[in-house]
């Protein structure tokens, strides 16, 4: 069996026992818990020490040739944004080679660009993108020559992202009633615990172990980075990814998968000098908020354990919802196949034979998608779902999606029902857009669609558009796009 080729191993000599830590050094992770602070002039963070403790802010101050280290103690500090006018307008420009909805596909595309001799970097200003490396293409002439060369070879995805800046956001710290403006700050506490409030109220307050660092990023804003040991990080991941009440064996499996995923993906944010984010583009991480004994025990019982395939960490992708079946890696992302990621029916019983009843066949697919009982996700709200939207809203959403992704056809005016059936090629194209849009707006980071070429089916009865997960054959949908 394929699964027998995947091995659980103990990492870096750490034990898998359920007792306390062995004393060996744990792996330290750098996590971007607030990735783009300063995008809005009203952005605000409050950092607090726990009762009886104090924070220490360490930063360099003074002029470039006369810098010195300054340390400020405080029980709490406030971080705000000050928009600093520039003496003269500044041009911020980069060559965007491609835009993607996942890191996995962006990374594969980056490899292709490198094979063509173009140095690149993977970034995430909002969507994942591949940029021509800024320190290489660092002049107006070099950037424009590169773009012209790509366009001459027929490339239609690359473009120049140019912004004229009149002002820039600057981090401003309020400490003990005084204001300080260092761009890089290290924040520590004696008890190694820091509470972070994002916004002006306490509803988003979360407690984090480890240290904090504010640092500039590639997008002209700032990232608040939490530096924390791997096993402590997992305490903030596992309960939020599987749930505190899951069976113990399932929680232990989740702990191993989450540990493997983290170690495999530390390269994601290399461009910004940290490793992982705290949302579904990586793994949901909420610090020590929401930790429970059940998941803590599972993390301790599997301490140091990871999954490997041919002596390499596996790409431990997982999702909140499968729709009843998982997908092969290549059905969802670009890149080399992962032999250990294969389609599996998500049910305890052998209710569907994928080798004999391929879901690539439309009739089989319709039968499968109409099954409701017997799956592990039966009763789960996202297992089978439908969403309704007016034609006007669908039009606005598609226009916005296409413009954000710099796609051809972004200036279309409306979508309307057509009297004759459109060709399947057009329908497939439209479904790709709708599916990509819905995934862009709603999906978790690794939720595989049942049919990548048409993950959602759509129809237009009267004035409503009903989007249902695989509930209708493509040939039954009539659409038209009218451009003005």
Residue whose C-alpha is closest to residue 14's, from 3, 28, 24, 29: 24
Higher pLDDT residue, 240 or 381? Answer: 240
pLDDT at 265 > cutoff 70: yes
> Do residues 225 and 274 lie in contact, with contact meaning Cβ atoms separated by under 8 Å?
yes
pLDDT confidence band for 29 (50 / 70 / 90): very high
pLDDT of residue 278: 96
pLDDT at 252 > cutoff 80: yes
Residue whose C-alpha is closest to residue 367's, from 387, 377, 353, 346: 353
pLDDT of residue 448: 36
pLDDT of residue 461: 29
pLDDT of residue 467: 32
pLDDT of residue 431: 55
CA dihedral 315, 328, 365, 101 (to 10 degrees): 60
Share of the chain above pLDDT 70, in %: 77
pLDDT of residue 388: 82
Give me the sign of the Cα torsion angle 48, 49, 50, 54: negative
> Do residues 481 and 427 lie in contact, with contact meaning Cβ atoms separated by under 8 Å?
no
pLDDT, mean of residues 345-351: 91
Q: Taking all residues of the chain, what is their mean pLDDT, rounded to a whole number? A: 82
pLDDT at 453 > cutoff 50: no
Residue whose C-alpha is closest to residue 288's, from 191, 213, 199: 191
> Do residues 343 and 405 lie in contact, with contact meaning Cβ atoms separated by under 8 Å?
no
CA dihedral 173, 179, 183, 187 (to 10 degrees): -50
pLDDT confidence band for 475 (50 / 70 / 90): very low
pLDDT of residue 10: 66
pLDDT of residue 403: 75
pLDDT digits (tens, 9 = 90+) for 311-339: 999 999 988 888 899 989 988 888 889 99
pLDDT of residue 47: 96
pLDDT digits (tens, 9 = 90+) for 46-92: 999 999 999 999 998 866 556 678 889 999 999 999 999 999 999 99
Helix or strand holding residue 58 (H, E):
strand 55-61
Higher pLDDT residue, 399 or 94? Answer: 94
pLDDT of residue 380: 85
As a whole number of angstroms, the distance between CA 453 and CA 98 comes to 20
Q: What is the pTM of this model?
A: 0.80
pLDDT, mean of residues 347-374: 91
> Do residues 261 and 234 lie in contact, with contact meaning Cβ atoms separated by under 8 Å?
no
pLDDT digits (tens, 9 = 90+) for 4-27: 466 666 664 433 332 334 445 789
Residues contacting residue 381 through CB under 8 Å, at least 6 positions apart: none
Residue whose C-alpha is closest to residue 321's, from 261, 379, 252, 250: 379
pLDDT confidence band for 386 (50 / 70 / 90): confident
> Do residues 21 and 231 lie in contact, with contact meaning Cβ atoms separated by under 8 Å?
yes
- The neighbour count for residue 432, using CB atoms within 10 Å, is 14
Structure tokens at 25: 């050094």
Structure tokens at 231: 């096993």
Structure tokens at 55: 């924070």
Structure tokens at 45: 């963070």
pLDDT at 182 > cutoff 90: yes
pLDDT at 416 > cutoff 90: no
Domains of the chain plus CATH, in order, are: 88-167 (3.30.70), 386-482 (no CATH)
DSSP string, 368-437: HHT--SSBTTTT-TTTS-EEEEEHHHHHHHHHHHHHHTT-TTTT--EEE--SSPPPHHHHHHHHHHHHHH
pLDDT confidence band for 412 (50 / 70 / 90): confident
pLDDT digits (tens, 9 = 90+) for 203-213: 779 999 999 99
pLDDT, mean of residues 421-447: 48
Give whichever of 354-368, 383-397, 418-432 has the largest mean pLDDT.
Answer: 354-368
pLDDT digits (tens, 9 = 90+) for 184-237: 999 999 999 999 998 776 677 999 999 999 999 999 999 999 999 999 999 999
């Amino acid at each position: 069996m394929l699964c027998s080729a995947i091995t659980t191993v103990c990492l870096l000599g750490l034990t898998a026992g359920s007792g306390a830590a062995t004393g060996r050094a744990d792996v330290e992770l750098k996590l971007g818990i607030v990735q783009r602070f300063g995008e809005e002039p009203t952005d605000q963070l409050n950092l607090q020490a726990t009762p009886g403790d104090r924070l220490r802010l360490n930063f360099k101050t003074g002029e470039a040739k006369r810098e010195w280290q300054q340390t400020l103690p405080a029980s709490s500090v406030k971080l705000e944004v000050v928009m600093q006018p520039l003496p003269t307008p500044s041009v911020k420009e980069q060559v965007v080679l491609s835009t993607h909805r996942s890191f996995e596909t962006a990374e594969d595309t980056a490899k292709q660009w490198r094979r063509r001799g173009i140095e690149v970097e993977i970034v995430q200003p909002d969507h994942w993108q591949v940029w021509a490396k800024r320190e290489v293409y660092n002049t107006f002439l070099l950037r424009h020559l590169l773009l012209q060369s790509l366009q001459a070879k027929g490339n239609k995805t690359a473009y120049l992202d140019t912004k004229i800046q009149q002002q820039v956001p600057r981090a401003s710290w309020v400490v003990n009633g005084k204001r300080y403006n260092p761009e890089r700050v290290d924040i520590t506490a004696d008890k190694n615990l820091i509470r972070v409030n994002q916004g002006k109220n306490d509803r988003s307050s979360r407690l984090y172990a480890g240290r904090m660092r504010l640092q500039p990023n590639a997008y002209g804003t700032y990232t608040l980075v939490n530096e924390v040991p791997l096993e402590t990080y997992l305490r903030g991941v596992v309960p939020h990814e599987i749930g505190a009440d899951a069976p113990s064996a399932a929680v232990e499996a989740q702990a191993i998968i989450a540990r493997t995923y983290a170690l495999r993906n530390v390269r994601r944010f290399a461009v910004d000098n940290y490793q992982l984010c705290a949302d579904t583009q990586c793994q949901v991480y909420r610090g020590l908020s929401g930790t429970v004994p059940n998941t803590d025990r599972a993390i301790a019982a599997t301490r140091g354990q990871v999954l490997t395939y041919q002596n390499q960490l596996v790409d431990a992708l997982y999702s909140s919802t499968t729709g009843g079946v998982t997908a092969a890696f290549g059905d969802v992302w670009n890149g080399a196949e992962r032999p250990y990621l294969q389609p599996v029916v998500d049910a305890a019983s052998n209710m569907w034979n994928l080798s004999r009843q391929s879901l690539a066949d439309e009739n089989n697919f319709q039968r499968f998608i109409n099954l409701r009982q017997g799956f592990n996700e039966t009763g789960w709200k996202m297992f089978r779902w439908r969403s309704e939207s007016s034609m006007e809203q669908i039009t606005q959403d598609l226009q916005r999606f296409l413009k954000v992704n710099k796609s051809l056809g972004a200036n279309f005016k409306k979508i309307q029902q057509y009297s004759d059936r459109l060709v399947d090629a057009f329908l497939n194209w439209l479904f790709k857009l709708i599916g990509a849009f819905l995934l862009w707006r709603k999906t978790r980071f690794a939720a595989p669609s049942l049919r990548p070429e048409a993950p959602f089916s759509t129809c237009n009865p009267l004035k409503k558009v009903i989007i249902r997960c695989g509930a209708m054959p493509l040939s039954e949908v009539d659409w038209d796009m009218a451009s003005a």
